[in-house]
Structure 1
Amino acid sequence: MNTATKLDSSGSPQAARKKHPPGLYLLFFTEMWERFSYYGMRGLLILYLTKTFISGGLGFSEAVAASIYGFFTGAVYFTPLIGGWLTDRFIGKRLAITIGGVTMALGNLALFASQTKAALFLGLGLLIIGNGFFKPNISTLVGELYDEKDERRDAAFTIFYMGINLGAFFAPLVCGFLAEDFFKTTVNGVEVFGFKYGFLAAAIGMIIGQIIFNMLGNRYLGDLGKKPNVKAATVDKKQVSNAPLTKQEKNRTWAIIIITCFVVFFWAGFEQAGTSLSLYTEKFVDREVFGWTIPVSWFQSVNPLFIILLAPLVSMLWIKLARSKRGDLPVPIKMGLGMILLGTGFIILAIAVLQTGSDETNIVAKANLLFIVMTYLFHTLGELFLSPIGLSMVSRIAPVKLASLLMGVWLASTGIANIVAGQVAALTATLGYLEIFSVIGSLAIFFGLVLTLVSKKLTRMMA
């Protein structure tokens, strides 16, 4: 590890233990701009796919659009497996982050340049490839700023997670405003949306992040992340790329894989936000406030807003528990509680569906805005108990030579979940929102309880 990450500006190791290294905040802002780009585009995607050609969209049916959305958001979490493998062996993390950022910017520029199906699939393809290089490596770099037993690790990943959600908060507001308001026009009585300007804003955000990262990288990260893992990993200054995994390393690897399988169920529910929750909000939620109708895409900012507000509190909770006599909660229990909280959010939403029904041609009454807000609140709490903890876990216990690859495996769970989420969202047209939301909520609570029951075994494997 680069010793510069262990010392503060005064050179005092003791002072550095109280503060996070400055490299954390560089990675914070780099991830913030990347997430601005991703969530800005993603917040518009389902609307762009379903609006008619004359309205500036591509005219897909809701079922086909949900499937495209699901496969895209799934694929962006599968390519980190390939990007992580390449980084572990051939290229440094920082170069991979730059390759990924530039490729994703080009993807959004393709969506801006032409509103055709060919440009759609080209743009989505570039975004998928770029994310594969970017996503696993920036998270792993955060972990490398800290020693394995540093008590600040979970708090650091929670702070890093705030960067993710700061970008995710502003993205739908900016890109959604440009597409659904500022550049929206009326032609022959038909509303025409300016989706391409939202995609342009997403591209600009990605470019800004890459400029900051490359200008300040050497200053705040030193040599961290410049070499592939197999070249950086040494014991007594000898390479260990061909050394077999120890029994402890194998147990830790299996613990990551087992927990990853549980996490699929969490993200399959959570990722309904961009599809079934957005479509339900558009049709069945009363979005009017003081005579103004809130854009649908703006609801994608509710979750990151709650993250920004609640992440510092959760971060302080983990530090307080870690320093208490009883000690911190085991990772599997934290994540099990996260799944239970997610399920509770869907139960709240199911109550709203009982009021509104699922038939848009015969809406009895629209749901109060607070139902969707409370749903996002519980989903956010669940996310804070699960996602940053998982990132911290993988970076802490993964064998060095498999660090980026296992981070890719962790992210791939979200990929599987997104594909499943898209297919589940497509079923709302036939099964109805009540059935879908109720089943998702019940399964999330069930698997959350199972995870807490097997937590002792998993904790021993992670030791």
Structure 2
Amino acid sequence: MFKGHPKGLYVAFFANMGERFGFYTMMGVLVYYLTAKYGLSGTNAGIIYSVFYGLIYGLALVGGLVADRTKNYKGVIMVGMITMLAGYVLMSIPGFGLIFTLVALFTIAFGNGLFKGNLQAVVGQLYDEPKYSHLRDSAFSVFYMGINVGALYAPHAASGIIRWFIEKQGYQRNDLLPSLIHKFQEGSLNATESVDFQMLADKVSGHSVADLTAFATDYLSAYGTGFNYAFAAAGVTMVFSFVVYMIFKGMLPDVKKAEESGEPVVEMSKEETKQRMTALFLVFGVVIFFWMAFHQNGLTMSLFARDYTVQEVGPDANLFFNVWSLTAIIIGFFGFLTLIKKEASSMSKIIGAFVTIGGVGAAYYMYTTFAESTPFSPELFQPFNPSFIVILTPIILGIFAWLNKRGKEPSAPRKIGMGMVITAIAFTILLIGSLGLEPFKDLTPESSRVGVGWLIGTYFTMTIAELFLSPMGISFVSKVSPPKYQGLMQGGWLGATALGNQMLWVGSYLYERVAIWQVWSVFIILTLIAAGFIFSVMKKLEKVSS
């Protein structure tokens, strides 16, 4: 996948991968942390999650503006990484209140605003050279894959660290207990909840609990501190990214030095600049609705995993929930791709065959050791999206390359529109799986739960949509942006993401008030409307990107 690309892509790939590992380690458990540690409702946790996610991307406008004005893209990226690391350090300190956590989250968001959009702009600058320009779309797909390699293992790391710490304190992890503990401490448990509380307290302690007051304090402290340890792990991966970036940043282009050395600066007419900016803002307006829908994976879909999905899986499903067997499957898959690749040498094919057999064999061996039923934490649904990204990226790149050779590859704007339609299909799968489920307000511990296949199928379909839309959108922005606004327009793309994230709370608000299938229907309607709009302005978008 890296063949023919400039070396700077490697630097951006690995710097971004480590940062995203840390980011998704935190994001995979943030809602659970807010509801468990501080007793927030799903709605209030959703508002904080939504505002934070909005700031993560909205502040990229500030970062882009600073970088465009100073032309010091690489310096702004460095400051952003240091700021994010400071935020993770704050998040890892246990014992503080909600305000302290909000300050830490803002620090991370501000650092991310300086980092994310400008790194994308620098990747785009690598492909401003004519000899690399034809690789721009595939470059952003590879870059995007790096994001998701980091995201793939992050929730497993977070879940493992949290479980390890709670067990070290002599308890088992149970995600239903924190809300019952908060009600117990408030004196608002009803008779049924009191029975459930005693039963779960005995279960996680391994013995009958006589002093529920002491248990409640100890368990909540252990549970919350486990999350702080996970946030500390996020900081460690941020250090990895920073070290990689500082050592190898010389491989990335430096616009400021190029201008100081007298290299010619590309200028566009006001008319062309206006046409390009108009096209960009049309795309920004559409993707707001994609991100509003897509990022429900960390909010309402996470709540659905906790409240409506079975909490144990059999050996077949556990192949994908167990991080080691999942890794073996992915390794075997890439070995198989090497084996069937036409351009691969005989030695590469032999290595590919051994890797395929080794990966499949390791996965099968682990399968034989799995119990008939294995409990899992709801955040372990989070790795499905990045794992599908890692698997599907080379397949979709291959399909696009095949279409390109035949002159039939869709344009980047057309891929964005197709991605919106596929998103609607993804939510339709979840809607069907939610039919007949009780509204959230009527849930009891005995309420029926659905199999994991509904969420996995939704994640799979949504991942295809994401690959059609997100890397293609970033590539479109990189290609169409006027040179003097490169950082700002990458910030604009992320700003559109921010607006979508600001609307995430709509999902959590509806989740607690209407039938679950109705929640998903809202996102189906919104994404189809957005798809209709982008296809209606397709000629204008394709004109500026041709």
- Counterpart of 1:9 in structure 2 is none
Partner letter of residue 253 of structure 1? M
Code of the aligned partner of 1:96 = V
Q: 1:376 aligns with which of 438, 448, 459?
A: 459
1:225 aligns with 2:225: no
1:347-386 Cα distance to aligned partner (Å, 9 max, x none): 1111111143333228652111100000001110000000
SS of the residue corresponding to residue 449 of structure 2 reads coil
Please report how far the alpha carbon of residue 442 of structure 1 lies from its aligned counterpart in structure 2 after TM superposition. Answer: 2.4
Task: Say whether 1:356 aligns with 2:356.
Answer: no
Q: Which residue of 2 aligns with 1:50?
A: 35
1:77 to 57, 60, 63: 57
CA distance in structure 2 between the aligned counterparts of 1:25 and 1:237, rounded to whole angstroms: 25
Structure 2 SS opposite 1:328 = coil
Assess if the C-alpha contact under 8 Å between 2:28 and 2:298 holds in 1: yes
Tell whether 2:180 aligns with 1:153. Answer: no
Counterpart AA for 1:59: G
Matched, 1:131 2:112: yes
Aligned mates of 2:485, 2:113 — CA distance in 1: 16
Q: Aligned pair in 2 of structure 1 residues 20, 238: CA closer, same or farther (>3 Å)?
A: closer
Distance 2:295 2:273 in 1: 32
User: Which one of the candidate residues 413, 420, 425 is aligned to 1:344?
Assistant: 425
Letter of the aligned partner of 1:344 in structure 2? I
- Unmatched runs of 5 consecutive residues or more in structure 2: 172-204, 206-214, 314-371
Matched-pair contact (CA < 8 Å) for 2:437–2:516:
no
Query: Which residue does 1:250 correspond to in 2?
Result: 274
CA distance in 1: counterparts of 2:239 and 2:43, whole angstroms: 33
Structure 2 letter corresponding to 1:225: D
Match of 2:5 in 1: 20
The alpha carbon displacement at 1:226 in A equals 5.8
1:35 and 2:20 are equivalent in the alignment:
yes
User: What is the match of residue 261 of structure 1?
Assistant: 285
Asked if 1:301 is matched to 2:383, the reply is: yes
Please say if 1:204 is aligned against 2:286: no
Contact between 2:413 and 2:476, CA under 8 Å: does it hold in 1? no
More moved, 89-98 vs 39-48 = 89-98
Q: Which residue of 1 aligns with 2:247?
A: 215
SS in 1 for 2:444: helix
What does residue range 55-454 of structure 1 map to in structure 2 within 5 Å?
A: 57-114=37-94, 115-147=96-128, 150-184=133-167, 185=169, 186=171, 188=215, 190=219, 192-193=222-223, 194-218=226-250, 220-221=251-252, 224-225=253-254, 227=256, 232=259, 237=263, 245-289=269-313, 290-324=372-406, 326-359=407-440, 360-361=443-444, 364-454=447-537
**Structure 1 residues 232 and 40 mapped into 2: Cα distance closer, same or farther (>3 Å)?**
farther
- 1:177-207 deviation per Cα after TM superposition (whole angstroms, max 9, x unaligned): 2124454443737463210010000011111
What amino acid sits opposite 2:140 in the alignment? Answer: F
Q: Within 2, Cα distance between the matches of 1:128 and 1:378?
A: 29
Using a 3 Å threshold, how does the CA distance of structure 1 residues 36 and 94 change in structure 2: closer, same or farther?
same
The separation in 2 between residues aligned to 1:233 and 1:275, in whole angstroms, is 47
The percent of aligned pairs where both chains have the same amino acid is: 32
Residue type at the aligned position of 1:82: V
SS of the residue corresponding to residue 419 of structure 2 reads helix
Partners of 2:79 and 2:56 in 1: CA distance = 15
- Contact kept, 8 Å, 2:421 with 2:528, in 1: the verdict is yes
After superposing the two structures, state which structure 1 stretch, 370-379 or 417-426, moved more: 417-426
- Matched residues in 2 for 1:269 and 1:177: separation? 28
Give 1:381's aligned amino acid.
I
The amino acid that maps onto 1:142 is V
Q: Give the Cα–Cα distance (whole angstroms) in 2 for the partners of residues 327 and 78 of structure 1.
A: 36
Moved more, 188-197 or 267-276: 188-197
Distance 2:255 2:529 in 1: 43
Letter in 1 for 2:529: F
Asked whether the equivalents of residues 480 and 544 of structure 2 are also in contact (C-alpha less than 8 Å), the reply is no
RMSD between aligned alpha carbons? 2.2
> Are the counterparts in 1 of residues 42 and 508 from structure 2 also a CA contact under 8 Å?
no
Residue 418 of structure 1, CA deviation: 0.7
**Contact 1:166 1:308 (C-alpha < 8 Å) held by counterparts:** yes
Question: Aligned-pair distance for 1:89?
Answer: 0.9
CA distance in 2, matches of 1:336, 1:349: 21
2:312, 2:374 within 8 Å by CA — same for their partners in 1?
A: yes
**Whole-angstrom distance in 2 between the partners of 1:137 and 1:116:** 33
For 2:450, the aligned partner's letter is A
Distance in 2 separating the partners of 1:383 and 1:269: 11
Give the distance between the partners of 1:400 and 1:232, measured in 2 at CA. Answer: 12
Distance 1:339-1:103 versus aligned 2 partners, 3 A rule: same
- Seen in structure 2, the aligned counterparts of structure 1 residues 17 and 111 have a Cα distance that, compared at 3 Å, is closer
Could you give the per-residue CA deviations for residues 308-356 of structure 1, whole angstroms, max 9, x where no partner exists? 00011112222222232x3421222101110111111111111111143
Per-residue deviation, 1:452 = 2.3
**Does the residue aligned with 2:399 lie in a helix, a strand or coil?**
helix
**Given the two structures, how large is their TM-score scaled by the length of structure 1?**
0.89
Between Structure 1 and Structure 2, how many residues are aligned?
434
Q: Which amino acid aligns with 2:383?
A: S
Query: What is the DSSP-based 3-state SS (H/G/I as helix, E as strand, rest coil) of the residue aligned with 1:427?
Result: helix
Shift of 1:244: 6.9
Does the 8 A contact of 1:94 with 1:226 survive in 2?
no
Secondary structure of 1:309's counterpart equals: helix
CA distance in 2, matches of 1:167, 1:183: 25
Structure 1 residue identity aligned to 2:259? A
- Per the alignment, in what secondary structure is the counterpart of residue 151 of structure 1? helix
**Runs of 5+ unmatched residues, structure 1:** 1-15, 52-56
